[in-house]
Every structure is written in C-alpha cells, then in structure tokens.
Structure 1
Amino acid sequence: MLDIKALRYFLAVVDANGFTAAARKLHVAQPAVSMAIRKLEQSLELNLFHRRERSIELTDEGRVLLQHARRIVQATADAELEMREIHGLRRGEVRIGVPSMLGSYYFPPILMAFRHRYPNLQLTVIESGTRKIQQMLSEGEIDMGVIVSDRPPEELESHVFLREQMMAILPVEHPLAQQEHVTYEQFFHEDLVVFKEGYFHREVLDRLAKEYSYDPKIGFETNLLPLIKQIVRQGFSISTLLEMAISDAADLVARPFEQQVWLDLSIAWRKEGYLSRANRAFVDFLLDQART
C-alpha cells in the first residue's frame, strides 16, 4: 500500500536532489524525510536511491516509481480540491504560466480586469518559455499556461485565444525598415539578438533557419525583453518579436516577413487534471476578452 505522504517526500527528495534540501522545502526535520523514504523502500522491497557521500541518484526502480508518483500525488491534489469545492471551500487561486512578451504586453490589462471582477481570487503569474510551461503543466506546478499550439501535446487541452504575426524588428533608420516586408534571406544576413532556447520566439526562428537552410548570426542571447529592444535600438542587431512588443517604442519598427509567420497562442491545461472553478472562470474570461 503506497502512502501518499511518503510519495510526496519521495518527490521532494528527487526535485531537491537531496534529503536535507527536501526537508527544508517540506519544513520538516531531515530525519523525518529519511525515515519516510526508508519505510517506502521497505514496503516496496526496493532501493529507490543510490546514496553516495555527497549526492543521490535514482535507481532504475526509483525512476519507474517517479512516473507513477507524480501522477498519484497530482491526482490526489485534484481530488482534494474538487471535494473542497463541492462544499463551497474554493481554493480561489489561479496559477498561470505566460511567455515574456505576452506577460509584458497582452496580459496585464486582462489580469487587472479579471481581478476587478473577482477580487477574492488570487492570481499567480509565472513568466517562462513555452517549453518550460508545458513541463510545469505536466508536473502540476501550474494550473494553466500559454503555449504555441501548432502541435499541442496530447496530454493537454488547449483553446486558441490569440493569433499574432511574428515580425522583423528594426531601428527606424535601418535600410530594411524602408521596405514593406523583409525576406528570410535579408533577415538571416543580419546580426541577431534572440531569446534563449525554450521560448516560442527562439523556436520559430530556429525552425525557419532549419527549413530554409540559413545559419543564424546570433550576436546576443537574452530573455530580457527591454534589453532586446535596447540592442536593436542601438543598431547592434535586429530581432523578431510580436508587434505588440514595440507598441511603446517609437524608434523601432515592425515589418512582416515576405512569407508571413503566424502563431496561434492557446491557453492550455492538463486533460486529466481537475480545473478548479477559479481557473474555469479565468479561461472563460480570457476567451470572452479574445472574442471582443
């Protein structure tokens, strides 16, 4: 019989990569964590960790358990939440992962309007790349996330709320800024400032480079949107962003690519997970705003 508390401790040890760090995360004494893991191993008659002097590593059996433990713990959390809501004890929290550009320019007015309508709900917004957002959704770290949905993972339910075009971003005095559109050849001939891997901006750029056999001349990598715009503004590099990202920058221009690049952005959550009333309210609010 698997003990849910022991499984939570097991996951904490794995995620923290150690018993002491896991104990700090769980706010319990380290011996309590060690004892829980020993009892779990005894009940399974298996060793879950290779214990070394300064590190631990999952055994093959531990890796198998890890896959089941995440699902069991998440399913238990979902069940507890749903039961609380049946009794009217709403968690009242929306945890959402949002990419940088949307978090800076698209979502603030929506989040403020939602908070005004539902003042008792707590909003937790986490900025990250779409690849990391998908991972956090799968592991239950967030309830919902914004993803680029050309090929959404099968385990996620997703609904498109925004269709936007990726644009070449240039300083106003750049020769390409005088054109109506920019070819891929012209774009990849320039020095580029780009997001790091894992962000949809970078994945689009890498996909285009591979598809058309270009070797990007990447001069800067950063996830800081203001820095990207400053580098472009100073003429060191150009970039590609959603046009909304330069709506407040009169000295930058956005030009579409000759072969236009459109992105469908979706709100997504785990198909097998329980979407709380608070989260359902946010989804409905977001989709209503997108339709207006």
Structure 2
Amino acid sequence: MIERYLLRYFLAVIDQGNFSRAAAHCHVSQPTLSTGIAKLEQMTGAALFMRNNQRVELTAAGTRLMNHARRIEREFNLAEQAVAKEPGGAPLRIGVLNSIAGDVIARAMVLTGLDTGIMVELLPGNERELLARLDSGRIDVALTLVRGDKSEAIIDDGYGVALSATHRLAGRDEIAAEELASDPMIVRRHCEALSATSRHFVACGVRPHFAFRSTNDERVMQMVAAGLGVTVMPMSYRWPGMARARLKDFELRRSIGLLYGARAENMSGEAAAIISAIAQALREAHAQGIRSEESP
C-alpha cells in the first residue's frame, strides 16, 4: 500500500521543481525525501522522474501517477475538513499571489471590519504554488493570475516604470528603456513579468547595474522612493515618494482574479463577503492607478 507521505513527497517535487526545494517544503532533509521517492518508484515499479543537474521532469509513468496522487491528496484534505472540530468552523484559507500589493489585501481586511465570525488565513505564493494548493485542497480561494474562461477576473493590469519622485524623468507619462540605461535597476525576483522585462531591456540595448534584489515589494518601493534605483512593476502599485510611468513599447499585461476550490464553489454569507471585499479593494487600487496615469 502506498502511504500518503510518499505521495506528498512526489507532489512536492512536481510543485517545487527540484528535490531540495521539495524537501524544504515538506520539512524533511533532502536524503529523506530522495529515499521516499526511491521507495515510491520501487512500489510502482517505474521511474517517476528524469533527473539532471538543472531540474527534474516527469516520466510518462510519473505523469499518470500525478493525476491520481492529486485526486487522492484532495480527498484526504476534504475528509480532514469534514471532521474538523474547530470553533466557528474551518478557517477561510485564501492564497494570494506574491506580486499583488500588500496594501490591497490590508485594505480588504479593513473593508470586512475583521468581524465576520470566521477566521481567515492568508497564504502567499507564486502562481504555480497557489494552483497546487488549490488543487490539493490546502486553500479555498486563490487571488492570482487568471487565464482562459475558468476564472472570475477582477482587473486587467499593465506594467510600468517605478522611480523616485525626485528622479529626472519623474512626471513623464511614458519612459523608454534606453532613457534608463544609466540608472541602477532594482529586481523584483518574484515578478511573473521578470523574464519579459529582462528581454525587453536587452532588446533595447540596455544592461543595467542591479543595485538591489528582493521578493519583498514594500522594501523594493522604499528603495525606489529613496532613489536607490528604478524598477518595473504593475501600474496599480503606489508608494509615497514614488512616481509611475508607462514603459514604452512594453505591452505585457496580466489579469488578476479568483479561482475557487471545492469547498468554496458554493460560498455564501460571511465568507463570500470577505472575498467580495478583497475584489473591491483590488478594483479600487487599480482605478486609482489608472486615474494617476491619466492625470496631467
């Protein structure tokens, strides 16, 4: 019989992309996780991963097992929720894309009044992590990038340059990458547009000095406002002392919306009010960004 922890190790390798991150995610050592995967391969009689120095990829057998493993893990989570004896019921678990501004979520919590009678858990993550958690039942709703028709889109957001309000180009509606050739760049390492941004600057012949790298957007905006460098981020982001402008010829956009798990498919009452408040706060932040862009 295949034990549940082996399937969790297996799914963690898929979701995290390699064995070391999967081990950290599962709170075990890498040798322990590797031994577990080897045991699972022995039990199934097939290699599940193709390994190299850069990444791991699923074999055909691994792909077949993945579909069953995700379904089993989801059923386990639903069973645990069904028998949970928590005061006030199970908490509403909301996954939030790392690159959504933190003040938007904070504003949403203010709009709900935090007096809803149910507990809320916010779990940040990148797009892949949130989809995996949603699929396995570890979160109820994901506020994330949405694609296709299986989602409830809230906003469509573009990207632009963020620079200090005292920068020589502050006040411009649009800035070309070439005009930033002499400026240090701050890298938002978690941004889903990072690769596209890098390609755009390289195509424009700009190879900036990187003054700071971070996955913390609030810290990035503090450094931008202080004049340490410039960066590219969604236009809905605002910070005191930070100016915004469109990045010329950079047309990439993103849609942010809601994806629902099984427990949240028929959400109503206080839980639905919290989700509506988050959507409203996101729309307001986006509208404020649009008004700022259109201001003379």
Please give the TM-score of this superposition, normalised by the length of structure 1: 0.64
- 1:158·1:267 contact (CA, 8 Å) conserved in 2? yes
2:123 is paired with a residue whose SS is strand
CA 1:10 to 1:194, structure 2 compared with 1: closer, same or farther past 3 Å? Answer: same
1:96 is paired with a residue whose SS is strand
5+ residue gaps, structure 2, are 14-18, 50-57, 285-296
Larger-Rg structure: 1
- 1:194·1:222 contact (CA, 8 Å) conserved in 2? yes
1:198-242 per-residue CA deviation (whole Å, 9 max, x = no partner) reads 5235255246447x5555525032112233224323433201234
CA 1:126 to 1:229, structure 2 compared with 1: closer, same or farther past 3 Å? Answer: same
Amino acid corresponding to residue 146 of structure 1 in structure 2 = L
- 1:94·1:282 contact (CA, 8 Å) conserved in 2? no
Provide the rounded CA distance (Å) in 1 between the counterparts of 2:163 and 2:245. 8
CA 1:95 to 1:207, structure 2 compared with 1: closer, same or farther past 3 Å? Answer: farther
Corresponding residue for 1:232?
224
Q: 1:222 aligns with which of 184, 192, 214?
A: 214
Task: Give the alignment of 1:121-160 within 5 angstroms.
Answer: 121-149=118-146, 152=147, 157-160=150-153
Percentage identity across aligned positions? 16
Q: Does 1:253 align with 2:249?
A: no
Corresponding residue for 1:264?
255
CA 1:133 to 1:203, structure 2 compared with 1: closer, same or farther past 3 Å? Answer: farther
2:169 is paired with a residue whose SS is helix
Offset of residue 148 of structure 1 = 2.7
Provide the rounded CA distance (Å) in 1 between the counterparts of 2:158 and 2:59. 46
Q: RMSD across aligned C-alpha pairs, in angstroms?
A: 4.3
Please give the TM-score of this superposition, normalised by the length of structure 2: 0.64
CA 1:186 to 1:284, structure 2 compared with 1: closer, same or farther past 3 Å? Answer: same
- 2:133·2:139 contact (CA, 8 Å) conserved in 1? yes
Report how many residues are paired: 252
Provide the rounded CA distance (Å) in 1 between the counterparts of 2:207 and 2:128. 21
Task: Give the alignment of 1:21-36 within 5 angstroms.
Answer: none
Corresponding residue for 1:55?
none
Q: 1:172 aligns with which of 147, 165, 178?
A: 165
Corresponding residue for 1:113?
111
Provide the rounded CA distance (Å) in 2 between the counterparts of 1:141 and 1:218. 40
2:152 is paired with a residue whose SS is strand
Offset of residue 275 of structure 1 = 2.2
CA 1:90 to 1:206, structure 2 compared with 1: closer, same or farther past 3 Å? Answer: farther
- 2:99·2:191 contact (CA, 8 Å) conserved in 1? no
Offset of residue 77 of structure 1 = 3.4
Provide the rounded CA distance (Å) in 1 between the counterparts of 2:137 and 2:148. 15
Provide the rounded CA distance (Å) in 1 between the counterparts of 2:130 and 2:201. 24
Provide the rounded CA distance (Å) in 2 between the counterparts of 1:75 and 1:94. 18
1:217 is paired with a residue whose SS is coil
1:177 is paired with a residue whose SS is coil
1:109 is paired with a residue whose SS is helix
